[in-house]
Structures are given as C-alpha cells and as structure tokens.
Amino acid sequence: MIGAPRAANGGHELKRLRQRAIRQLVLEQAVSSQREVVDALNRQGFDVTQATVSRDITELGLHKVARAEGHVYVVPDEPAGPATPSDARLRRILADIPVRVGRSGLTLVLTGTPGTASVIAQAIDESTLREQEGTLAGDNTLLVLFADEARLERWLERFERLSTLGPPDADDSGNGSTHTPTRR
C-alpha cells in the first residue's frame, strides 16, 4: 500500500498510530459514524475494518454527544461542552408526528404515535424551550412538568409556534409545511 503507515515494532505500533489518527480525526472534524472513521483511515493508508474501528473507539473512550451538526464522537479528556440548543430537530419531529396536547395542573400531557414519546422528549430537552422543569416519556405519552403557571403558558405558546413552523429548511429559515398540535 503506497503511503501506508509502517509498524516499526509490529502490530502494537500500528495500533498506536491508528488510534492516534482516530483521535486526531475526531478532534479536527465532526465525525458521526464508524463508517466515516473507516473511510478516513483508509484514505490515510490504514487497512481497517469497522470491527477494528469499533474496538479502537471503545479503547479510546470516545463517546457521542449531541451538537448542532448532530451526534458526533468526542474525545473524553476534551470537554464536550453543552450542546448548542436548537429547535430544528423538534420542528422536524413535530412536522412528522401528530401530537395532541392535554393538561393536568402544572403538567402538560403530550401524546404522539406509539413509540415516539422518548424521541419527542429528547428533542424538547435539546431545544431552546427552557421553561420546563423536566420531561418524562413513556411509549406514546410524555409529561412536561412546570414549576408555575406563567412558565407553562410561555412554554406552551412557544411550543405551538414551533409546531406551526413546519420542518426547517437547510438554512433553518422556518419555511415549510405547517402542523399544529391539537389541544384538549
């Protein structure tokens, strides 16, 4: 292989070089899949498989965090920092999943289709909606908890506005189809 890294003292040296290359790759660019790592290493002259990369990622302690560009690998000794809140994912989800909104005291009850509650709850948690105390998801129903009436009302107004914007365009301008959650 032309330009392939050569192991001076066997497989251990090659593994060290390969893992250094993986770490550098993750530090320099957003990498969201093992396939991307395999392809990048192959371009650098490493002959690797997805299984090898999977073991290397585990040994390096890399993990994924949510960022504006999606879930990406980060190096553990590098502070991941908080994900930048974005409403784009929540808007995409609300455009695809019909959501009914009900209320019980200071709790909003959001009901979607079977298996969607945790996806909606995570998108809410990653969004710019901050008035809630927390979310709790079941299968198709999630609870959004509030400390007081004013926060609940502000949150609900913003949530309904996000729902009517439809999915974001590539530039996240907010144009797209409209979808309004049903209030009970």
Q: What is the pLDDT of residue 178?
A: 39
DSSP assignment of 102-120, as one string? EEETTEEEEE-STT-HHHH
Question: Using 50, 70 and 90 to split pLDDT, how confident is the model at 77?
Answer: low
Name, of 53-67, 71-85, 150-164, the range with top average pLDDT. 150-164
98 vs 79: which has the higher pLDDT: 98
How deeply is 135 buried, as exposed, middle or buried, from its count of CB atoms within 10 A (0-12, 13-18, 19+)?
A: buried
DSSP 3-state percent helix, strand, coil across the chain (nearest 5): 40, 15, 40
The Cα 33–Cα 106 span in angstroms is 40
CATH 3.30.1360.40 given to domain 88-183: yes
175 vs 138: which has the higher pLDDT: 138
Q: What is the pLDDT of residue 159?
A: 96
pLDDT at residue 93 greater than cutoff 70: yes
Domain range annotation of the chain: 11-74, 88-183
> 11-74: which CATH number, 3.40.630.10, 3.30.365.10, 2.40.10.480, 1.10.10.10?
1.10.10.10
Residue-wise pLDDT for 110-161, tens only, equals 999 998 998 899 889 889 999 999 999 999 999 999 999 999 999 999 999 9
> What is the pTM for the complete model shown?
0.51
Q: What average pLDDT does the segment 150-178 reach?
A: 76
pLDDT at residue 79 greater than cutoff 70: no
